[in-house]
Amino acid sequence: MSDAATGFQPLSAGELSRWIVETARPQQRPFVAVGGRTSLAYGGRVTGDPTRISLNEFTQVVDYPARDMTITVGAGISIDALDEILRTENQQLPLDVPQSQRATLGGVLACNTSGPRRFGYGTLRDYVIGLRAVDGRGREFSSGGRVVKNVAGYDLCKPLIGSLGTLAIVTEVTLKLRPRPNACGMLWMTFPGYDDVDMALEAFVSSRTRPRSLDVLSPAAAGSIGRQLGIEVPHDAPALCLGFDGLTEEVHWQIQTAQSELEHFGALATVSFESHDTTAFWNASTEFGVCNDGALTCCTAVRPSGVLELLETCDRLQASSIAYAGNGIVISEAPESVVSAEDGRRFIEQLESAAEPFQGRTLVIECDPAWAGELSELAVPAAVRSLGGRIKQALDPDQLLAPGRIQYDLCTPHSTASENH
């Protein structure tokens, strides 16, 4: 395969390993894995001009014992291609991924991507049971296995999830799967204000229903998502959107029950919809803020009870926003008045200030490439910088993998246990 100065497309993990050992390390050439290029703005800006490692050849299904409800696939497979394969057995990887036709499994793993159904289904941490990867030293390694319960050895899958490709390049992933539900449906209710939504959510803690998604939309976001759905939905007030799935009767019962539980909190308008439109909602909610031609989109994580406060802040800043309220995640599109990196910095600071009482932190997920250098940084907690830095030094002592993506604390290079042995 070509070993161009800026791009390399290995045919196998062995070839990647050899390239790292024989070329990258001797030449001290930085490199970074690229998948569908849908999350390049996450985290810090990659410094220098690293060689881009494409995993386009890693798309094969290695093993799919459907009765075991696991699958092993190449990390370069797109999320949509994976979903098509799983659909044939009526199974799913229940993750919501923006731009799923381009986003790759390896990229999703690197960013720990999730969306509205995170509330009911969890994240990749709950589905990755094994993987194969190549570290910054060129070592091919595996972790986990192909069985759904396995505690042998350290689970190296976990630190790779969310590591933005800074610790190793994942080449193959084994996933635990779920059955595809028979039906889904949604209840969409608007309320006079966020205080009313808050009271409804407080009471909803003891709901008889079990939603898969629990979203709150600002009026602006409700309007834009409603237009995407192509159906008439109320959108002149904050919207609480509850998504359900399961048996058809189960979905209907939950919609009716949730409505009866919540409408006396001052609901202004209510609409419910069935499977097709519910799936469309989840897609629209997942894609919110992505490729929006807007300058800046941020993701803020707070304790779930802090979400409404953050939504109010976004409204005051005239930022359209949605919240995965059950998980404390708020996605906000900065207003059109944000026209410079400095404006963007101020917007982020205001979000962080509102989030601070709720142990929150903010991540830039989309921005003008010209601003990336100033805005893109990943506020990783101190302990993660420090302990993660030690793992970084063990797996990538030359610091060639995705430099700048995460600011680890890297002390004076020291040889690892294996290098001393």
Number of amino acids touching another protein (CB under 8 A)? 93
Cα(367)–Cα(347) distance, integer angstroms: 12
What's the closest the beta carbon of residue 329 comes to another protein, in angstroms? 6
CA 41 to chain centre: 13
Question: Which token pair is 152?
Answer: 């042998």
Residues 320-349 that bind another protein (CB under 8 A): 326-329
Cα(75)–Cα(172) distance, integer angstroms: 5
Cα(124)–Cα(49) distance, integer angstroms: 30
Residue 264 sits in the site that holds another protein (CB under 8 A): no
Taking residues 83 to 112 in sequence order and writing x for each that binds another protein by CB under 8 A, - otherwise, the string is -------xx-------------------xx
Residues 119-138 that bind another protein (CB under 8 A): 122, 125-126, 135
Note whether 207 and 224 are within 8 A (CB): no
Note whether 270 and 187 are within 8 A (CB): yes
Residues 374-403 that bind another protein (CB under 8 A): 378, 380-381, 383-384, 387-388, 390-391, 393-395
Amino acid at 119: F
Residue 412 sits in the site that holds another protein (CB under 8 A): no
* Residue 55, number of CB atoms within 10 A of its CB: 25
Residues 195-234 that bind another protein (CB under 8 A): 201-202, 205-206, 208-210
What's the closest the beta carbon of residue 287 comes to another protein, in angstroms? 18
DSSP state of 90: T
Sign of CA dihedral 291, 293, 296, 297: negative
Residue 276 sits in the site that holds another protein (CB under 8 A): no
Q: Which of 250, 263, 274, 343 binds another protein (CB under 8 A)?
A: 250
Q: Give 148 or 339: the residue with its C-beta nearer to another protein.
A: 148
Residue 372 sits in the site that holds another protein (CB under 8 A): no
Q: Which of 93, 187, 302, 319 binds another protein (CB under 8 A)?
A: 302
Q: Give 317 or 325: the residue with its C-beta nearer to another protein.
A: 325
Cα(334)–Cα(314) distance, integer angstroms: 8
Q: Which of 280, 358, 377, 410 binds another protein (CB under 8 A)?
A: 358
Note whether 136 and 166 are within 8 A (CB): no
| Residues 6 or more apart in contact with residue 232 via CB below 8 angstroms | 226, 271
Closest CA to 137 of 412, 409, 391, 421: 391
Q: Give 224 or 321: the residue with its C-beta nearer to another protein.
A: 321
Q: Give 6 or 206: the residue with its C-beta nearer to another protein.
A: 206
Residue 76 sits in the site that holds another protein (CB under 8 A): no
Residue 64 sits in the site that holds another protein (CB under 8 A): no
